[in-house]
């Protein structure tokens, strides 16, 4: 299994490749046929690169090495930092910056490090995480109630799931952020013994 330190090293290199390309996640998404959020997940080792998609991603990001692609083809260790949902006031200048020690990151050379540090969008902006968490938590009960009314007793999948971020103009002409969650509906199962194969006679 991929360790957290190994994941961090690979992620740093992937972010450096993106930084060198000068492309945004949305640009890469258009070139690969993926959603922009899924591209970001791939380059943060939060999603697995599928073999049939690898050539498109390499065409979009020519600096991707065979080693990096091989790592991206492996199932990732999906995780998140629980500190990211805290109020931004606990961070310096609203940013939570992870300093990279080159001695601890042998796969990250000095040029990649300089590009990474100079490419501020790859740093974790705490305020965005805080507001997203706040929005979901504040609207969560209402969203659940509407799902129950329209679908029944169930949930939205986060596995059979698509996500995208779009920029639109509001009625006042100002920029607005549109985050779309598109997940499969999963009904809760009534737990009947006759359907529980592991408990049926002769199953032991």
CATH code of the domain containing 155: 3.30.1160.10
93 found inside a domain:
yes
Active site residue 134: yes
Same-domain pairing of 24 and 88:
yes
Q: Judge contact between 138 and 173, C-beta under 8 A.
A: no
- What are residue 155's DSSP bridge partners? 186
Question: How many whole angstroms separate alpha carbon 175 and alpha carbon 168?
Answer: 6
Same-domain pairing of 113 and 64:
yes
Structure confidence at residue 89 (pLDDT): 38
139 found inside a domain:
no
156 found inside a domain:
yes
195 found inside a domain:
no
The H helix count followed by the E strand count for the chain is: 7, 4
Active site residue 131: yes
Query: Out of 78, 79, 87, 131, which one is annotated catalytic?
Result: 131
Same-domain pairing of 24 and 118:
yes
Query: Out of 134, 145, 176, 199, which one is annotated catalytic?
Result: 134
Same-domain pairing of 121 and 183:
no
Same-domain pairing of 46 and 105:
yes
Same-domain pairing of 117 and 55:
yes
145 found inside a domain:
no
Query: Out of 5, 67, 157, 176, which one is annotated catalytic?
Result: 157
Same-domain pairing of 88 and 167:
no
178 found inside a domain:
yes
90 found inside a domain:
yes
Which DSSP string do the residues of 170-189 spell out, in sequence order? -TTS-EEEEEEEEEEEEEPP
Q: What is the pLDDT along the chain (204 residues), one digit of tens a residue?
A: 567 788 999 999 999 999 999 999 999 999 999 999 999 999 999 999 999 999 999 999 999 999 999 999 999 999 887 776 665 433 333 434 343 444 444 444 544 544 544 454 434 455 677 788 889 989 999 999 999 999 999 999 999 999 999 999 999 999 999 999 999 999 999 998 888 888 777 766
pTM: 0.74
Q: Which domain holds residue 169?
A: 151-187
Same-domain pairing of 24 and 121:
yes
Same-domain pairing of 40 and 102:
yes
56 found inside a domain:
yes
Tell me how many domains the chain contains: 2
Active site residue 87: no
Same-domain pairing of 114 and 14:
yes
Which DSSP string do the residues of 78-125 spell out, in sequence order? ----GGGGS-GGGSBTTEE-----GGG-TTS-HHHHHHHHH-GGGSEE
């Amino acid at each position: 299994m991929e360790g957290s330190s190994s994941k961090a090293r690979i992620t740093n290199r992937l972010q450096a490749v993106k930084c060198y390309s000068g492309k945004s996640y949305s640009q890469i998404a258009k070139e690969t046929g993926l959603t922009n959020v899924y591209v970001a997940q791939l380059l943060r080792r939060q999603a697995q690169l599928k073999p049939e998609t690898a050539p498109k991603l390499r065409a979009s990001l020519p600096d991707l090495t065979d080693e990096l692609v091989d790592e991206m083809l492996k199932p990732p260790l999906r995780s998140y930092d629980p500190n990211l949902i805290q109020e931004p006031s606990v961070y310096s200048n609203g940013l939570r910056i992870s300093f990279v020690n080159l001695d601890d990151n042998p796969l990250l050379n000095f040029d990649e490090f300089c590009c990474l540090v100079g490419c501020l969008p790859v740093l974790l902006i705490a305020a965005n995480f805080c507001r997203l968490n706040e929005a979901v938590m504040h609207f969560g009960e209402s969203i659940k109630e509407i799902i129950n009314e329209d679908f029944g007793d169930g949930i939205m999948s986060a596995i059979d799931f698509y996500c995208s971020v779009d920029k639109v103009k509001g009625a006042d002409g100002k920029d607005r952020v549109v985050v779309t969650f598109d997940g499969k509906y999963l009904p809760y199962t009534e737990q009947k013994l006759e359907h529980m194969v592991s408990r049926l006679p002769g199953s032991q």
